[in-house]
Amino acid sequence: MPDAETYLLPQRAYLLSYRDQALPVRRVALRDSRDHFDAVIDSVSRHEAQLGLLGLIGDAMQTLEDVGTMASAMMVGLAGLPFYVRATAYDPSDVNNFFAQIHKRDPDYFLRLCGFWFEGLSMHDFFELRPPLSVAERAAFDAAEEATAKLVAEHLGNLAREWERYRRFFHAYKHASLVANPDDVEILDEDGEPVEGIVIWARRRDEAAVGNHATMPLPDIAEHIESVGKLAIDMASHLVETRLGIFDIIDFKPDGAVETKPLRGTPWEFWMRREDVGSKNLELLAGRGVVLAEPTP
C-alpha cells in the first residue's frame, strides 16, 4: 500500500476536488456559454455572434484539454508518484500527443486507462471480492471491462478528432481572442458569394495569415460543439469516478494508519453498451451489485 501522507491522501483530495469542484463548474460554464451564444446569435453584429460561438468553443474544448491532461498523466505518470503530480506539471505537448496517438492504442491501453489493469495485473489480483467471484461471474466482469474499454476508446477517438478540428479555435479563444473581424473578413464560396461561418487568425506567423475556419451555420456549430463538451465532461467524470472507487475500500485511521476494508461491491465503474456484454453477463453483474451508467449516445 502506498504511503497515505504523500501518496494516497493528496491523490484522493485531487480526485474529490475534481469531482466536486471542476466537473460541476465545467458543466455550468458550458451551459452558460451556450445560453450566451443563443442570446447573441441574432445580433446585428456578426462579430458579437461569432465571439459568442468562440466562447462556447472555448468552454467545450476546455473540457477536452482536461481529459487529455488527466488521461495522459494517468498513463504516463512519474515513477513512484501519484498521477496528480504529472497532471499538474503542464506540458503543452501532452494533450496534443495524447489525442494524436489515441487511434494507435491497443485494447490493453484502454483497460489500463479505465483502471482495470495496473502494472500487468488485473484489479482482481489486488482486490478480492467477498464472496469470491465464480468462474461465470469473473467472465462477466471481464466482458464488462472489455466493453467499457471499447466504449472509452470509441469516445476518445471521437474527442481526438474534435480536438484536432477545434483546438486552434480554442487557442484563439484563450490567446487574445483572434477571431477575424467579420466587418473586414468574410468567407466566400466558389461563386464569390459570402457564406456563414467563423474565421480565426493563425498564430505564430511572420505575416498575417488566415488560420482555421468553419463554414457551417453558427447554430449548427454550437449544437455540435456543446455535445462534444458534454461528452468530454462525461469522460472526465468516468475516469475520476473509477479511480475514486478504490478509495472506498481504504480506511484512513486518525493516527495515520491505513487499512483495507472488505470489498463487498465493485470499486470501479463500468460505462458500456449493454449489447457489448450480453444479457446473461448483465444478470450476473447485477447479482454482484453492479449498477450500470447509461452510455453517452
Partner 1 sequence: METRDANPAYVEEKLGREFYSHLRGGGRVAAFRRAAVVRAHALYDEAAEADAPESEISGLGLLVVQRTLLAVEDLGALLWAVADENRWRRFTSYRAEDLDGLYEELFRSVLDVRTLWAMPTDEAIAEEGGHSEPQRAAVKVLRELTAGELETKINFVASFWLSHRVGAKNLMHGFGVVTAPHLIDPPGGGILSKQVPLDRPRPFAASLVSTVSDERREVETTPHLVELTPEAVAMVRNTAETACDLIEQLVDAWVFAVSTQHLFVLRSDLLEQLPEAEQKAVADLFGDEDADAS
Told to check if 98 binds partner 1 by CB under 8 A, we report no
Taking alpha carbons only, the member of 253, 261, 295 closest to residue 155 is 295
Which residue, 93 or 279, has its beta carbon nearer to partner 1? 93
Alpha carbon distance 266, 56 (integer Å): 37
Q: The C-alpha cell of 219 is what? A: 447554430
Site string for partner 1, 235-254 (x = CB under 8 A): -----------------x-x
Q: Which of residues 108-167 bind partner 1 (CB under 8 A)?
A: none
Question: What is the nearest approach in angstroms of partner 1 to the Cβ of residue 24?
Answer: 5
Alpha carbon distance 272, 295 (integer Å): 6
Question: What is the nearest approach in angstroms of partner 1 to the Cβ of residue 262?
Answer: 19
Choose one: 1-9, 105-113, 212-220, 279-287; the region binding partner 1 (CB under 8 A): 1-9
The residue within the footprint of partner 1, chosen from 42, 106, 183, 191 (CB under 8 A), is 183
Which residue, 25 or 195, has its beta carbon nearer to partner 1? 25
Please compute, for residue 276, the number of CA atoms within 13 A of its CA located in the half-sphere on the CB side: 19
Told to check if 260 binds partner 1 by CB under 8 A, we report no
Question: What is the nearest approach in angstroms of partner 1 to the Cβ of residue 13?
Answer: 3
Cβ within 8 Å of residue 135, ≥6 positions away: none
Which residue, 48 or 276, has its beta carbon nearer to partner 1? 48
* Packing angle, helices 279-287 and 135-174, rounded to 10: 90
Alpha carbon distance 198, 214 (integer Å): 5
Told to check if 7 binds partner 1 by CB under 8 A, we report yes
Please compute, for residue 53, the number of CA atoms within 13 A of its CA located in the half-sphere on the CB side: 31
User: Any alpha helices (H) in the chain, and if so which ranges?
Assistant: 9-17, 23-40, 46-75, 83-87, 92-100, 107-113, 123-126, 135-174, 218-247, 279-287
Site string for partner 1, 57-96 (x = CB under 8 A): -----x--xx--xx--x----x--x--xxxxxxx------
Told to check if 192 binds partner 1 by CB under 8 A, we report no
The residue within the footprint of partner 1, chosen from 1, 42, 106, 175 (CB under 8 A), is 175
Q: Identify the burial level of 132 via C-beta atoms within 10 angstroms of its C-beta, where 0-12 means exposed, 13-18 middle and 19 or more buried.
A: exposed
The residue within the footprint of partner 1, chosen from 176, 195, 286, 291 (CB under 8 A), is 176
Question: What is the nearest approach in angstroms of partner 1 to the Cβ of residue 81?
Answer: 6
Taking alpha carbons only, the member of 282, 283, 288, 259 closest to residue 1 is 259
Choose one: 108-116, 173-181, 216-224, 270-278; the region binding partner 1 (CB under 8 A): 173-181
Cβ within 8 Å of residue 71, ≥6 positions away: 98, 113, 156, 239
Footprint of partner 1 on this chain (CB under 8 A)?
4-10, 12-14, 16-18, 20-22, 24-26, 28-29, 32-33, 36, 45, 47-48, 51-52, 55, 62, 65-66, 69-70, 73, 78, 81, 84-90, 173-181, 183-185, 201-208, 252, 254
